[in-house]
Structure 1
């Protein structure tokens, strides 16, 4: 029999019957069978944060220990800063200077016309100068006294001696701490900040204040 001849009808019928049975490969519940080997590997991976939930000592977890160390470090820093602030001592404030010399300034203040008739003006000015330099952050340590030298109603002027205790032979101290600009500037600023009642224009004009050594 020639191989090129067509297959018998019985063989073709069997092949056709086999081709008509694809449903036999499908499960009855309609689900497609998946090869278990093909499951994604990600399903077996652990979460990157799972190590933080592991017990390290007893019931203490790793994240608890890390948090406790961090909080303890912050508390140590805060306590250290508080102790440093309490124990800090300003060396300049506690430095004891030997004020063996005296420095005297002569202050002449021109009195406005509306203030000439003020009876207690001399007393008020003396108290004012004493308070100004006695409470000055820069000069209070060195201020000694303020005394009236001359009070002239005719010339409308009042003259004071300002006396300070200073270290001897200290040129830098005399140049910066006892300069005329500093001593006069403190007084001018005080007159601008607070006027004397009934004599509001006193000391407002810089030309009305003269300072000599």
Structure 2
């Protein structure tokens, strides 16, 4: 009986001693982990291969997948592929981009020329057929003077110059009639709230004489352009009454 108890005590001591030794060894291993970690770090290597990261440690290889890196690597690989005549894909795409930019720039440069109005090209020297209009209008808020009956008087010449300038501006700024307009003349005044008599001269090419007479240089067109402008006038010093306008 005594021998059995002694055996158990010995076994218990041995087991306890073994556990203490193991714990001491673990603490010592933890204490001296620095050199071991440095040695392990030297054994670790990382490498990108097709979007995966390979970690090598003590002869073992651990592969970690990187989806984003995999897509980038795949894209790079595709761009380097040869598509035709030993030209890589990236070079072909760059060439197409440059070509598109060049086409856009050329189109922008040619656009004004392509959309140029053919009708804007005309030779004024061929405009040799005159077309004449005459008429009269009344001036409001302007008292009549006997000097206006004398064409050579200063008052008559000054008023004629002002009115001729107004008529010239109207037809010179008209998109439809400006190229054909030649001259506006106010040649006489008469009593009746100052009535001015005027004459308009237009020039047109012989080849288009019939067409222009019927449409662009018709009496209705010339009359409406002047009347519309008179409705927008602001000069009260020589205000022309639009309702008094006549044109034949």
Please classify the TM superposition score into its range, dividing by the shorter chain length: 0.5 to 0.7
Give 5+ residue unaligned stretches, structure 1.
Answer: 1-42
Residues 194 and 70 from structure 1, CA distance in 2 versus in 1: closer, same or farther, beyond 3 angstroms? farther
Q: How does 1:92-171 map to 2 (within 5 A)?
A: 92-96=119-123, 98-112=126-140, 114-116=141-143, 119=155, 120-154=158-192, 156-168=194-206, 170-171=209-210
Q: Distance in 1 between matches of 2:213 and 2:128?
A: 13
8 A contact 2:163–2:186 mirrored in 1: no
Q: How does 1:172-211 map to 2 (within 5 A)?
A: 172-200=211-239, 202-203=240-241, 205=242, 207-211=243-247
Alignment match, 1:53: 76
Shift of 1:128: 0.8
Alignment match, 1:68: 94
Aligned length: 162
More strand by share: 2
Give the structure-2-normalised TM-score. Answer: 0.54
Could you say which structure has the greater relative contact order, defined with CA pairs below 8 angstroms and 6 or more residues apart?
1
What's the RMSD between the two structures over aligned residues? 3.3
Shift of 1:194: 3.1
Q: Distance in 2 between matches of 1:194 and 1:156?
A: 18
Does the residue aligned with 2:206 lie in a helix, a strand or coil?
Answer: coil
Give 5+ residue unaligned stretches, structure 2.
Answer: 1-64, 146-154
8 A contact 1:130–1:145 mirrored in 2: yes
**Residues 20-40 of structure 1, C-alpha deviation per residue, up to 9 Å, x if partnerless?**
xxxxxxxxxxxxxxxxxxxxx
Residues 81 and 199 from structure 1, CA distance in 2 versus in 1: closer, same or farther, beyond 3 angstroms? same
**Residues 135-178 of structure 1, C-alpha deviation per residue, up to 9 Å, x if partnerless?**
32221211111112321133631111101112336321211110
8 A contact 2:187–2:197 mirrored in 1: yes
